[in-house]
């Protein structure tokens, strides 16, 4: 089959290239992404595609990184392809966050690609992953002890990300470029055996290829079978969750499910930004079997799995439900992680500014106004309460759930709490009508 016909057939099998689509093509300048860009340009007239390119300079290889960027710029200029260029100090971000270089580079690159696609109105971002990349990924995941999802390799598409040359090996793409007389650049770090992926590509894959010359394609086929099985099991888990109340799982029926389905129920039910390893999922399942009502197990990202009267649920842990202290500034501010908004202005207080539990006139002499969560020993002197009460007692009397108390905003002057929406302002800090004051207004969506 002719290369471009095979390319289109593969793309069509996954609905990657709908007619008239605008596609952002991630181009590093290497052989894989360059060949992908050429194939997309070759297919563009027939499919009425609009192709744009994006290049991200990771600033990791000095002059070589700049050389790659210049190559892509010249390549696109010669062919009239719109190019979006971006860069990021991957090493600096890696040091700051404590994440690895490869993980940080991937995160910054995809953030740039998706941002460029949104700005340009592109419906998809195309990346140049090949069958060889997929085989290397499968072996890496196998060595880590991954389950079916990891062993299913690189998906042909995920959301707006498409991988139109995943069915080609690297040598096939280089052969295509040679036929077209198109050059590309080489990344010298691809020879650095300090990286696990490079060692697999340079040392492990040649041995496997001796045993099976078509191993990359055969592994790709096996991955497709695993993805089908995984999708089927996911479907069973989705059906199970859809049959019950939203956000609540009957622990007894969960534990009666086959383990592959129960594991997927846990993974699907957990909050979207919670990364659950196999060990974590097994911990949650054992917890569900325990029947320890009124207790919880902690999960990554500040979440917890809680068991109450046989019902398993996921929520933010009490420790994670807190407002990070920030200085109050003039104007309107959304309080992060809550439904609250606070506004601040400075003027003479009017009678209406001093008589509600959500609008406060704070004496103009107060300094270092800030918003935060309740702290131990915080207290307010409230006239309608007949004296001083701790916020802990006020929250208990108001029956605010423990895990929600940290999300009630506290207005403070320096370290001292002076007002809480819904409860009022401390009498020592209340401004009188006619006095210069900070007018603080809280509202909840």
Q: What is the pLDDT along the chain (445 residues), one digit of tens a residue?
A: 689 999 999 999 999 999 999 999 999 999 999 999 999 999 999 999 999 999 999 998 989 999 999 999 999 999 999 999 999 999 999 888 888 888 899 999 999 999 999 999 999 999 999 999 999 999 999 999 888 889 999 999 999 999 999 999 999 999 999 999 999 999 998 888 988 899 999 999 999 999 999 999 999 999 999 999 999 999 999 999 999 888 899 999 999 999 999 999 999 998 866 678 889 999 999 999 998 888 888 888 778 888 988 999 887 776 667 888 999 999 999 998 788 999 999 999 888 776 678 889 999 888 899 999 999 899 999 988 788 999 999 999 988 877 788 889 999 999 999 999 999 999 999 998 889 999 999 998 7
Instruction: Using alpha carbons, select from 378, 377, 404 the residue that is nearest to residue 323.
Output: 404
Give residues with Cβ within 8 angstroms of 337, minimum separation 6: 321, 323, 407
The residue with tokens 């971006």 is: 86
Distance of alpha carbon 270 from alpha carbon 284, whole angstroms: 10
**Which pLDDT score is estimated for 354?**
64
pTM, two decimals, is 0.72
Q: Phi and psi at residue 179, in whole multiples of 5°? A: -60, -35
Instruction: Using alpha carbons, select from 442, 387, 436, 437 the residue that is nearest to residue 411.
Output: 442
Give CA separation, 168 vs 163, 194, 228, 416, in Å: 11, 26, 21, 65
The residue with tokens 């998809």 is: 124
Tell me which of 3.40.190.10, 3.40.50.620, 2.40.30.10, 3.90.1150.10 is the CATH number of domain 3-223.
Answer: 3.40.50.620
Instruction: Using alpha carbons, select from 30, 9, 11 the residue that is nearest to residue 182.
Output: 30
Distance of alpha carbon 71 from alpha carbon 182, whole angstroms: 12
Distance of alpha carbon 438 from alpha carbon 431, whole angstroms: 9
User: Is-contact 419 411, C-beta < 8 A?
Assistant: yes
The three-state secondary structure class of 128 is coil
Tell me which of 3.30.465.60, 3.40.50.300, 1.20.140.10, 3.10.560.10 is the CATH number of domain 244-316.
Answer: 3.30.465.60
Domain coordinates of the chain in residue numbers?
Answer: 3-223, 244-316, 326-444
In what helix (H) or strand (E) does residue 327 lie, and over which residues does it extend?
Answer: strand 326-327
Distance of alpha carbon 243 from alpha carbon 249, whole angstroms: 10
């Amino acid at each position: 089959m002719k290369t471009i016909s095979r390319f289109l057939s593969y793309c069509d099998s996954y609905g990657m290239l709908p007619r008239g689509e605008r596609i952002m093509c991630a181009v590093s300048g290497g052989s894989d992404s360059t060949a992908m860009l050429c194939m997309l340009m070759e297919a563009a007239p027939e499919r009425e595609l609009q192709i744009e390119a994006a290049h991200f300079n990771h600033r990791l290889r000095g002059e070589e990184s700049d050389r790659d960027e210049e190559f892509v710029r010249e390549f696109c200029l010669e062919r009239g392809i719109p190019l979006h260029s971006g860069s990021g100090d991957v090493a600096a971000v890696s040091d700051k966050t404590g994440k690895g270089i490869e993980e940080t580079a991937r995160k910054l690159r995809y953030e740039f690609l998706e941002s460029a696609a949104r700005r340009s109105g592109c419906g998809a971002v195309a990346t140049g992953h090949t069958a060889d990349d997929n085989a290397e990924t499968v072996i890496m995941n196998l060595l880590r002890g991954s389950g079916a999802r990891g062993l299913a390799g690189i998906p042909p598409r995920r959301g707006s990300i498409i991988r139109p040359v995943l069915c080609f090996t690297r040598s096939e793409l280089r052969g295509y470029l040679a036929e077209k007389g198109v050059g590309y650049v080489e990344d010298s770090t691809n020879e650095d055996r300090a990286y696990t992926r490079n060692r697999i590509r340079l040392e492990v894959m040649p041995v496997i290829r001796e045993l099976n010359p078509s191993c990359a394609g055969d592994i790709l086929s096996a991955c497709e079978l695993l993805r089908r099985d995984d999708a089927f099991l996911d479907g069973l888990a989705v059906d199970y969750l859809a049959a019950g109340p939203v956000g609540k799982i009957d622990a007894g029926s969960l534990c009666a499910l086959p383990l592959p389905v129960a594991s997927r129920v846990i993974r699907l039910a957990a909050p979207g930004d919670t990364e659950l390893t196999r060990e974590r999922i097994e911990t949650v399942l054992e917890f569900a079997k325990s029947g320890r009502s009124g207790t919880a197990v902690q999960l990554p990202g500040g979440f917890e799995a809680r068991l109450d009267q046989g019902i398993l649920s996921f929520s933010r842990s009490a420790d994670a439900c807190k407002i990070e202290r920030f200085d109050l500034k003039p104007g309107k501010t959304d309080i992060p992680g809550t439904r609250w908004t606070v506004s601040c202005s400075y003027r003479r207080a009017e009678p209406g500014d001093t008589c509600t539990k959500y609008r406060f006139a704070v004496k103009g002499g107060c300094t270092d106004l800030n918003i935060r969560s309740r702290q131990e020993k915080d207290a307010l002197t409230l006239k309608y309460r007949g004296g001083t009460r701790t916020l802990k007692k006020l929250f208990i009397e108001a029956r605010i759930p423990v895990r929600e108390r940290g999300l009630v905003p506290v207005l403070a002057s320096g370290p001292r709490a002076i007002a809480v929406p819904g409860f009022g302002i401390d009498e020592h800090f209340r401004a009188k009508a006619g006095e210069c004051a900070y007018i603080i207004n809280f509202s909840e969506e």
